[in-house]
Each structure stands twice: as structure tokens, then as C-alpha cells.
Structure 1
Amino acid sequence: MKYLTSIYASSSPYRLISSLCGKGEKMFNAWYSFLLCWLSLRIEANPGLKVRITEKGLDYGRKIGMELLKQAVLKETFPSWSGQENFSVVTVSYVISRLRINSVDFPETSASFIPGTGISLSVAHASATISADWRMNTWLLNDHGGITVSISGLFITIVFKVSRDSAGRLTTLLDDCQLSINSVKVELNGGSSWIYSFLSGYLEKPIHSKLDQNLCQNIKYKIQMMDAHIRQQKVLTQIDAFAQIDYSLVSSPAVFKSHINLDLKGTVYPVGNHTDPPFVPAPFALPNQDDSMVYLGVSSYFLKSASLAYYRAGAFSITISEELATTLNLNIGLFKDFVPEIALSYIISCPVLLKLMATSPPAVSLNADKCILQITGCVEVFAVLPNSTTQYIFAGNLTASTRANLTISKQKLIISLLLKRLQFSLLHSSLRSSERMSLVENFLSYALWNTVIPVINDKLGKGFPLNLAHTILTGPVIKMNQDHLVISTDVQYKHEEKRDEDFHSHSF
């Protein structure tokens, strides 16, 4: 009798409960990991960008986390294990196999913001049932059967603190953990039933004690592991070959009763050049609303730093190719009627090639209900000769005033330009001056209107990513204000099998 008690107290029940402790951790971890994805939102940056998660968003994260937890727990598999114990003249060998979670229930869960600290998660009346097979061998007895551990009335409240580390990454630590369990029932079956009925009652108290002692400590350890994993993440996100976004926190998250605010740097840099722009973001505030799950504030600073970054990276040098030009029948022949000198210089009608270069970063201004983009540059016109070489014809200055339409598509902020006014002035030409050159300028303006702006819009159409990790925006609304815009949106969790694999491998 003594050696049977020792076997189950030191091995199988404890291992089963350790697994259950792991499930309790997973209950927290699934919700916690989902929330942290939100708190490390990959839309970019200083109070150049602001992120607010409301109670509505927090509650949605809780619901998704609990559902993901149930699915993960019921799919979880565990390896068999074996051991050997010596008791006086008796050696007992045992094997525990086919450990599985039969059921788990979290009927009451809640999450709330703790002002000045972080987030609280509470689970009440949780229960779980775990079963396994056992087999033991001695010179006296060879036997096998099953074991069932039923836990009910699990109450746990966890508070974790959120802050910022020196690199601007989100960091968390366990601030408080309170736990109580109403009932632990152990049932051993198979073999000599009178022995196992006795042992079942004997083992319930130590198993209960092990849960009380270890569950909060295990949760703290898991939080430390996940915090270390989060700190390894880069604070720069690359948009494309030209630019990167710094999304580091500039201060610790500000936690209030109804929401949590994150101030992000929101600076766009050319790839490989992290020199700050010669201007700073102006302060702005998010609206005092809570109808949406998430509010994203984008200042004009963010857009201006993007404009400067792409300018420094040379992204605003555009060549209208021969193929694109010929779609508008843009060739030397079209100029001959306006400028006789062209007819004398080019006997054969040649395609025309346009080169557009910004001479300064496009100026961005945000006002109520509109975004204005002012582009200043120069344009050069070349003839494409039959031998594929080019010959310079003339050049001019170009100033375009455009209205920028902002939309959200496929999780990206898309900017498209609508040309409102265009001014062109001739700089110099290889041709003799002509009064008819104004007609050329008018025609060129038309060509720029129909070729350059579409090319720019095609580049802008790639968009700025709004990476709310593994979620999609639902019903986003953009409201433009003086010097900033606000995107209010709900989100929907996007299930991905690969994400599930990563979650198990990194979190548990």
C-alpha cells in the first residue's frame, strides 16, 4: 500500500497536474499572446502615431483568446513516460501513457484595464478533466488501468504590468496572481479496485496543494519567457526597397480605466539611413470615443517624414517609358505642327521619353476633411532615336498641387492623388525659341496629367501597412483633422494554421 501511494504521489498524479498547470498557463497565454499582438501594433511610430485599445477591443481579445485556448488544449498531445521505484524488497516499474485533455470549460472570464498598471484577467468556475492509462509491474503484481483527474471551481485573477524598455519595445511582468480551487477529484480504475479506491481519496489533498503552490509561479515563468521573446523583435519595419518605419514606443503605455494608449515614434526613414528629419511632430489627441475597438492616430509628421524618406531614397525620379508614352501617341510627330524646328531636326517621327524628378520633398498638409500634396520638380523631354539612344530636346520646371484621397484596402493605408492645378515653365531647349512653344507646354501639361500622375498613384497604391498582427480591419473610418487623421476601426481575428504552430512552439 505504501509503495503504491508513493508511486502516484511522486509521479503520475503530479505529472498529470503539472500538465494541467501547463493548461492553466495556456489559458492565460493564449489570451495574453493575442493581446500583446495588439499592444505591439505594427502601424508605425513618436507621437507621430498613436494607438488606443478600448474596452470593446480588450473584451474582443479576451473572447478570441479563450476560444483559441479551448481549441489548443483539446488538440494537445503528451508523450508517455516511465519510471522505476524501489520499496524495501520490492521494485516497481510503471508506465503512464495516452495522456489527454478530455474536456475544459471557462464559463466566466473577464478582462479589465488597471489604471497606471496594466491589464487584469479573471477566470471563474473553470473546470477540466484529464485522463491517462497506467501500467505497473512487480514480482508480486502486474496490473494496468486508467486514471482520471477532475478539477472544478478554479478561480484565478492575474494582473500584469505593461511598460517600455530602453529600446522602445513593449515589456510585461506579472504584478499579481490570486488562485483558488474548490475541488480536485482523482479516480483510479482497473486492476484491484479496492486498492485504487483507497488511493484516489488519499491523493486528492497533495494534488490540490501542488496546484496552489505551482500554478502562479508557472504563469510568472511563462510571462518572462514571452517577454524575452517580444524583446527580440525588431522595432523597424521595412515597407519596400526605399523606406523603413520606426514603430518603437516613445513612452510607457498609458493605462486608464476605459482604454490603453500607446505613443509610437512614427518616423519613416530611408533604408540604411536613420537620420531624423529636421522637424518634430506636433502634439495631437485621439478623440474621446469608445465605439470602436481600436483608434489609430496618424499625424502630418508621419506623412512628412515618409515624403522626406522617399525623396532622400530617390523614389521620386520617374521615367515615362517609350511603351507608356506611345499609349498616348506621344512622339515627335505631334510637335511638328506646333514647332517647325522639330520637323527640321527630326525627319523620322521618334518616340518621346519623359523624365520627372522632384527637386524637394513633396509638401504635405492635413486640414479638416482634406489632404493636400504639393509637388515641385523638373521634367526633361528626350527623343528616342532609331538606334535606341536618346537626344535631349527641352526641360522645364513643374509644380503640381494635388488633393490626396486616403482609403484603407487590404490592411494598408492607400494614398491616391487627384491633380488640381499644374504649372509648367520652360527652362531651356536645344531648339530655337519659338512663340509656338507655349502650345508645346500646354500639350506637355496634358501629357503629364495623363502619364505622370497615374505612375505616381501606382507607386502610392502599394500603401503603408497597418499590421494589427493576425487581424483584419472591419469597417474602418478615416476622419481628417487639422495636422492629423484618425482611423477608427473594429478588428476580426484571422486564423492561420502556421500562426498556431508558432504559438505552440514559442509560448508553451
Structure 2
Amino acid sequence: MLKTWYSFLLCWLSLQLEANPGLKVRITQKGLDYGRRIGMELLKQEVLKETFPSWSGQESFSVVKVNYVISRLRINAVHFPESSASFIPGTGISLSVAHASATISADWKMNAWLLKDQGGITASISGLFIAVVIKVSRDSTGHLSMLLHNCQTSINSVKVKLSGKSSWIYSFLSGYLEKPVHTKLNKNLCINIRYKIQMMDAQLRKHKVLNQIDAFAQIDYSLVSSPAVFKSHMNLDLKGTVYPVGNRTDPPFVPAPFALPNKDDSMLYLGVSSYFLKSASLAYYRAGAFNITMSKELATTFNLNTALFKDFVPEIALSYVTACPMLLKLMATSPPVVSLNADRCILHITGCVEVFAVLPYSTTQYIFAGNLTASTRVYLTITKQRLIISLLLKRLHFSLLHSILGFSEQMSLAENFLSYALRSAVIPVINDKLGKGFPLLNLAHTTLTGPVIKMNPVRRPISCYRILVLCQACAFLCVPVLVKSKCC
């Protein structure tokens, strides 16, 4: 019995220590190849702007020693005809450049016995090979971290051409300067690469993992574990929790494990779990986003006054000889429930409603109150790098709690009015609040356009569904995106 309890305790502890993500990102080999192509173009631009420190040295020519200084070294042209990138399982990313070439210019000074001179130097480098392995991990704050794991470089040939006053010695000295230039470049390439990767890592740490969506909610994009690197792809597990602004209290539920499909024919896959949607629902509920007071000024699609009840609840219209403006107060009494089905996503809202007449001098008179439950269809779109959620009212049920006019026998008519009001005025206000959307990760400044969203069932022991989002085209590339939910 003790052994059974011990095994149960270990199992429970392992579950507590395991942090499942709310969002998953997968970068495939196709995505890595795209990043390499863009990265090589950016690297060329950076290399051409690069500056290098001066260095000095000494060379012996028979019995004569020559001291030299090379300064203002700069790269004028660079070519990367062959490059490749691949995933290193369990480590990170391997990048290599072969048969690269560059043209370098600099100033030189020479000091020898009975001879001083200065001028310009042009060095042509060919057969440059660079192989770099970058280790990716998660730091203590949940940021993606990059570290130079291995670096190898070699240069096949360096040709040096000098210009200056004493032209008769240029051809003699050029051959001797090729060796130190070759050695210096070969030695400093990996040092410069390490520095660049450290700068990239520092930039990654500056990125906010907590992004504010709007005045109500913020989303946590921190990594819950180090990236999982496989031969064909790399997975990033993100927390994907939505919080009310200023409140980082975790929701009273945890994400269940879910997996992206075993596919690599797209550049990028994004998995969105139902935990993400549930946490968003709870965050907006806690922030009061579902509590709406609808007045005459906000009801742009119809005139919200007592005369409007003429066709719904005549008693109300007859009670006010002069039509009075109205206030419609709706309050969610519990967090809306997200339900994922095989072909749709439904949001179930439970709340209460209070209706008031606005009398002269802005005083209000209570008319009736009741409970309501509403089912809304949820539509997901991706616009301008944001996941947009919009609602469409499908069903409404109303039960009267209290009324000063006693029209309980006309409940269906009151329900029709509330359904009309929600469709015409309230839901548009909620959609306007949700319209700013949830910011998606901006990978390599890629803009996703033309997404197609589908929901397909996942065969699991319990009811699960996944949402598929296929991005047909992007601003810079064609990249299908998969958005997949975990178990409900």
C-alpha cells in the first residue's frame, strides 16, 4: 500500500512540475531555409558596414625587419554563393557558408631601416568557409536565448595589393603581408561572430514576453521550456496565458498537453489551445469587458427608447406617454465558456440584464430585470499579425426576475427584444473591444495574409478538437500556418 501511495505521489509531483504550453510554434526546415536566405542578405548589409580595429606587426625580410600598421580596414564587397542551414537535434541550428569571397581595403604604414612609407592596401579573399553552431535555450525569464556553441573558419587564399610612394617595393612586400592578413582574419572571424550572436541574444532578452492586447487584457508569450530541436524542425512551447491588465493571477485551470501534427511541408505552424481561449475569456470577464451599459447615444443602429417596446412589450410603451430614452445594463455573472466542436467554436455567456427608463433631469426609473443565457458563434481571423475574435449571437434565453409592470406572460416578446438589442447594439460593442485582436509572434517581420481557418477533430480518449489556420500567402513568402487547439 505504501509503495502504491509513493508511486502516486511521484506521478502527481511530475505532473505539477510539467508545464504544458498554451501556444506552440514550429519552425520547419522550409522556414529555416527562408530565414537563411533573408539572413544572408541582412548579413551582407551588416558586413559592409562593419569596422575593424587597427593592428600592427613585424615581418623579417632577410636581415631587415619591417614594422607595419594596418588601419581603417573595411569590407567593400562580399559574396556568399553557397550557404546552408540545418537543425542539430538537441542543440540548435547549424549555419555554414562556403566558397565566399570578399574585397577589403585599408591604410598601411611601414617603418624599416632607412625606409618609411605609407599608402593603401587592397586584399582579395577567396575560398572563405564558415561553419557555426548556435545553441538555443530558454533563460530564467522565459526568453529565447542564443549562444555560440561551435565556430570553424578557413580562408583558401588572400591576395594583397599595395599602393604608395615607394612603388618599387610593393610587389616585394605584398607577398609578405598576405600571411599576417590571412592569420588575422582567420583568428578574428569567430570572435566577431560570437560578438554578433551575443548582440542578437541581448536583443532577444529585450523583447517583451508580456504583451498588452488592449485596455482589458495582456498575454504572456514566455517560453515554458527550452526549444525542442529535431532533425526536421524546432518546437517552441509558449505559456499562452491571457491575464487582465495589472493582474498576473493564473487561471484556476491548467493547459492539457497537445501536439502539432507530424508534418513539415509548411514553413511555420502555430498551435492555439483551448486553454488560450479559456484564459482569454476569464481575463476579459475579470476585467469587466463583458459588462456593458447601452444608452441611446451608443445604440447607433436603432433608437433605444420606450417607444421601441411597442412591438415587443406594449405595456412599457403605454406606460410612458412621452417616449423616454433607455439604459440597458448587461453583466456577465460567470466567465463565458468556450466550446470547441468539430466544425465550429461556440461561446456560452451567462449574465443578467437590467432595463431603465431615463426620465427628465437624467434620473432613471427601473423597469425590469432578468437572467439571460446566450450562445454566440466565434469567428477567428488573422489580420495584420493579430488573431481577431468576433462573435455572432445564435441563441438567447431570458427569464424574468422582477418587473414594475408585471408582463410575465409576455416573456417571449421581451426575449425577442433583448435578442434584437444584443444583435444590433451589444454584440457590435463587444466585437469592437475584441477587434484589436491578440498580437501574434512577429517572426522575421513576416506578415500573414489570406488565412483560412478550419476545425478538425483530433482522435483522443476524450473529446478534443483542433483549429487549422492555413495562411495562403504572406507579404514576403508563402507560409501555411496551423493553429491547433488542445483537449477541451
Query: Which of residues 487, 498, 502 in structure 1 aligns to 2:469?
Result: 487
Query: Which of residues 317, 325, 330 in structure 1 aligns to 2:299?
Result: 325
| 1:230 Cα deviation after fit | 2.4
Does the aligned pair in 2 maintain the 1:354–1:380 contact within 8 Å? yes
Q: In structure 2, how many angstroms separate the alpha carbons of the residues matched to 1:258 and 1:63?
A: 18
Q: Which residue of 1 aligns with 2:125?
A: 151
Q: In structure 2, how many angstroms separate the alpha carbons of the residues matched to 1:194 and 1:251?
A: 65
Query: How big is the alpha-carbon RMSD for the aligned residues of Structure 1 and Structure 2?
Result: 3.1
Q: Which residue of 2 aligns with 1:162?
A: 136
Question: Could you report, residue by residue, the CA deviation over 1:142-183 in whole angstroms, capped at 9, with x for unpaired residues?
Answer: 865321011111001101111112222212221211111101
**Equivalent position SS for 2:161:** strand
Does the aligned pair in 1 maintain the 2:308–2:317 contact within 8 Å? no
Over 3 Å counting, the alpha-carbon distance change for 1:344 and 1:213 in structure 2 is closer
Q: Which residue of 1 aligns with 2:427?
A: 453
Q: In structure 2, how many angstroms separate the alpha carbons of the residues matched to 1:428 and 1:167?
A: 52
Q: Which residue of 2 aligns with 1:404?
A: 378
Question: Could you report, residue by residue, the CA deviation over 1:271-315 in whole angstroms, capped at 9, with x for unpaired residues?
Answer: 121111111112211112222110000000000000001101111
Structure 1 residue 204 corresponds to structure 2 residue 175: no
* Aligned ranges 1:350-429 → 2 under 5 Å: 350-429=324-403
Q: In structure 2, how many angstroms separate the alpha carbons of the residues matched to 1:357 and 1:145?
A: 81
* Aligned ranges 1:127-138 → 2 under 5 Å: 127-133=101-107
Q: How many residues align?
A: 444
TM-score, with normalisation over the residues of structure 1? 0.79
Does the aligned pair in 1 maintain the 2:312–2:416 contact within 8 Å? no
Structure 1 residue 69 corresponds to structure 2 residue 43: yes
Does the aligned pair in 2 maintain the 1:46–1:248 contact within 8 Å? no
5+ residue gaps, structure 1, are 1-44, 86-91, 495-508
| 1:238 Cα deviation after fit | 1.1
Q: Which residue of 2 aligns with 1:181?
A: 155
Question: Could you report, residue by residue, the CA deviation over 1:103-138 in whole angstroms, capped at 9, with x for unpaired residues?
Answer: 110000000001111100000011110224567899
Query: Which of residues 250, 258, 262 in structure 2 aligns to 1:284?
Result: 258
Whose helix proportion is higher, 1 or 2? 1
Does the aligned pair in 1 maintain the 2:28–2:268 contact within 8 Å? yes
Over 3 Å counting, the alpha-carbon distance change for 1:288 and 1:434 in structure 2 is closer
The one-letter amino acid of 1:419's match is: L
**Equivalent position SS for 1:325:** coil
**Equivalent position SS for 1:249:** coil
The one-letter amino acid of 1:485's match is: I
Q: In structure 1, how many angstroms separate the alpha carbons of the residues matched to 2:115 and 2:232?
A: 63
Q: In structure 1, how many angstroms separate the alpha carbons of the residues matched to 2:21 and 2:76?
A: 49
| 1:235 Cα deviation after fit | 2.1
Over 3 Å counting, the alpha-carbon distance change for 1:431 and 1:209 in structure 2 is same
**Seq. identity, %:** 78
The one-letter amino acid of 1:354's match is: L
**Equivalent position SS for 2:346:** strand
Q: In structure 1, how many angstroms separate the alpha carbons of the residues matched to 2:71 and 2:339?
A: 69
**Equivalent position SS for 1:305:** helix
5+ residue gaps, structure 2, are 1-18, 59-66, 457-463, 478-488
Over 3 Å counting, the alpha-carbon distance change for 1:488 and 1:158 in structure 2 is farther
Q: In structure 2, how many angstroms separate the alpha carbons of the residues matched to 1:193 and 1:57?
A: 53
Q: Which residue of 2 aligns with 1:50?
A: 24
Does the aligned pair in 1 maintain the 2:213–2:439 contact within 8 Å? yes
TM-score, with normalisation over the residues of structure 2? 0.82
Q: Which residue of 2 aligns with 1:472?
A: 447
**Equivalent position SS for 1:322:** coil
| 1:62 Cα deviation after fit | 0.3
Over 3 Å counting, the alpha-carbon distance change for 1:483 and 1:268 in structure 2 is farther
Q: Which residue of 2 aligns with 1:125?
A: 99
| 1:491 Cα deviation after fit | 5.0
Q: In structure 1, how many angstroms separate the alpha carbons of the residues matched to 2:476 and 2:315?
A: 65
The one-letter amino acid of 2:430's match is: I
